[in-house]
Structure 1
Amino acid sequence: MRAVSESQIQHSCLQWFRLQYPALSPLLFAVPNGGKRDSRSGARMKYEGVISGVADLILLIPKKGFASLCIEMKTPKGEQSESQRKWQGAAERANNKYVVCRSLVEFMNEVNSYLR
């Protein structure tokens, strides 16, 4: 049996969110930081402001004293990189909630808890 990829988990989470919270769906978006790119594309993205380590998903809704919910998606065995841990610290110091989700169930629990 093939392991589920981070991309597949994230896609399931986005589908669920759009069905569960249709009015809020434009405010949950992916940050296209990951993936393999050629050097030219990577240089252009850096030039345009891409920052290493930014969370995979951002829910741009202030709740419970937080400015937003930043969600890093990982597989069950995935680990945060050093740049992701550094960005997490910066995001939390700026009053954002930051979570790591490894499954649809974790994502659902975090989002429901944040929004309710």
Structure 2
Amino acid sequence: MTTFKEAQRVQSQKAARSKRFNRVPTEDQEQMTLMSWAHRVKYGSGRLSDYLFHIPNGGSRNIIEAAKFKKLGVKAGVPDLQLIVPNGEIHGLWIELKSKKGKLQPSQRLMIQRLEEQGYMCKVCFGADEAIDEIKKYLMI
């Protein structure tokens, strides 16, 4: 016969395991899923991934690296991905990819506004599926 405390402990362990396996994918995981899909899609003279690339402006860096990257032109708020395919009057598509629980930062809002003023389309997507849908709509595929 199981004691109440033992039953609680087992329940707690099951809950911890459940949380561990039911985590929301990270932004990096979502982006890898998106790029994997883009690599499988034939587009133009190659694959869609030939026209879609990551802008490495985010991430944490040590002070020396951060100073170097700033001198190289890294800017806060630049969206994660750029699709270099024009569509009529639109110069290209920028995607700020967030995890499903992610939030847009003020610097990202400002950069998106600037890009849209210059004739680019910008989309904030929560998860790879949403980003894939936006790319399909943009390219009409």
The TM-score by the shorter chain falls in which range?
over 0.9
Distance 2:81 2:111 in 1: 13
Q: Does the residue aligned with 1:51 lie in a helix, a strand or coil?
A: coil
**Identity fraction in percent:** 34
- The structure with the largest helix share of the pair is 2
1:69-88 mapped onto 2 (5 Å cutoff): 69-88=93-112
1:4 aligns with 2:34: no
Q: Which moved more, 1:37-46 or 1:102-111?
A: 102-111
Unaligned runs of 5+ in 2: 1-21
Runs of 4+ in 1 over 6 A off after TM superposition: none
* Match of residue 109 from structure 1: 133
Q: Which amino acid aligns with 1:5?
A: T
8 Å contact kept, 1:56–1:71: yes
Distance 2:66 2:50 in 1: 26
* Match of residue 13 from structure 1: 34
Cα RMSD (Å) of the superposition? 1.1
**Aligned counterpart in structure 2 of residue 55 of structure 1, from 79, 85, 93:** 79
Give the paired residue count: 116
Higher relative contact order (CA 8 A, sep 6+): 1
Unaligned runs of 5+ in 1: none
Distance 2:69 2:93 in 1: 24
Q: Does the residue aligned with 2:102 lie in a helix, a strand or coil?
A: coil
Distance 1:25 1:77 in 2: 25
Higher CA-based Rg: 2
